[in-house]
Amino acid sequence: MSEILILNTHPERADECAALQPLCYPTLAADEQVTPAQFIRHVHVFPLGQFMAVDRQTDRVVGTTAGFLTHYDRISPDYFRHHTFYEATGGNWLTNHNPSGNYYYGIDMCVHPDYRGQGIARKLHDARKALARRLGLKGQVLGGMLPGYAKYTHVMSVHDYAHHVQKGVIHDSTFTTQLRNGFEFRGLLQNYLKDPPTNGWSTLLEWPNPGYIETTVNRGTPKPVTQSILPRIAAWPL
Ligand X SMILES: CC(C)(COP(=O)(O)OP(=O)(O)OC[C@H]1O[C@@H](n2cnc3c(N)ncnc32)[C@H](O)[C@@H]1OP(=O)(O)O)[C@@H](O)C(=O)NCCC(=O)NCCS
Q: Out of 111, 132, 137, 162, which residue is the one contacting ligand X (CB under 6 A)?
A: 111
Cβ-count burial 116-150 (b if 16+ within 10 Å, e if not): bebebbebbbebbbebbeebebbbbbbbbbbbbbe
* Distance of alpha carbon 188 from alpha carbon 98, whole angstroms: 24
Q: Which is nearer to ligand X, 14 or 120 (CB)?
A: 120
Parallel, antiparallel or unpaired: strands 103-111 and 139-145:
parallel
Parallel, antiparallel or unpaired: strands 4-8 and 103-111:
unpaired
Amino acid (1-letter code) at residue 11: P
| Binders of ligand X in range 17-56 (CB under 6 A) | 24-25
Q: What are the C-alpha distances in Å from 88 to residues 18, 84, 117, 203?
A: 20, 6, 29, 14
Strand partners, 5: 54
Query: Smallest distance from the beta carbon of 25 to ligand X, in angstroms?
Result: 6
Q: Which is nearer to ligand X, 17 or 110 (CB)?
A: 110
Q: Which is nearer to ligand X, 101 or 147 (CB)?
A: 147
Nearest to 207 by CA among 146, 147, 98, 124: 124
* Distance of alpha carbon 49 from alpha carbon 191, whole angstroms: 26
Instruction: With contacts defined by CB under 6 A, name the span among 42-50, 80-88, 104-112, 151-159 that binds ligand X.
Output: 104-112
| Binders of ligand X in range 112-171 (CB under 6 A) | 116-122, 144-145, 147, 171
Q: Which is nearer to ligand X, 57 or 215 (CB)?
A: 57
Q: Out of 61, 94, 109, 141, which residue is the one contacting ligand X (CB under 6 A)?
A: 109
**x/- letters, 174..213, toward ligand X (CB under 6 A):** x-xx--x---------------------------------
Q: Which is nearer to ligand X, 33 or 209 (CB)?
A: 33
Residue 110 in the binding site for ligand X (CB under 6 A) = yes
Query: Smallest distance from the beta carbon of 233 to ligand X, in angstroms?
Result: 51
Cβ-count burial 65-90 (b if 16+ within 10 Å, e if not): bbbbbbebeeeebeebeeebbeebbe
Q: Which is nearer to ligand X, 34 or 121 (CB)?
A: 121
Q: Which is nearer to ligand X, 173 or 190 (CB)?
A: 173
**x/- letters, 50..89, toward ligand X (CB under 6 A):** ----------------------------------------
Parallel, antiparallel or unpaired: strands 103-111 and 184-189:
unpaired
Amino acid (1-letter code) at residue 169: V
Q: Which residues contact ligand X by CB under 6 A?
A: 24-25, 109-111, 116-122, 144-145, 147, 171, 173-174, 176-177, 180
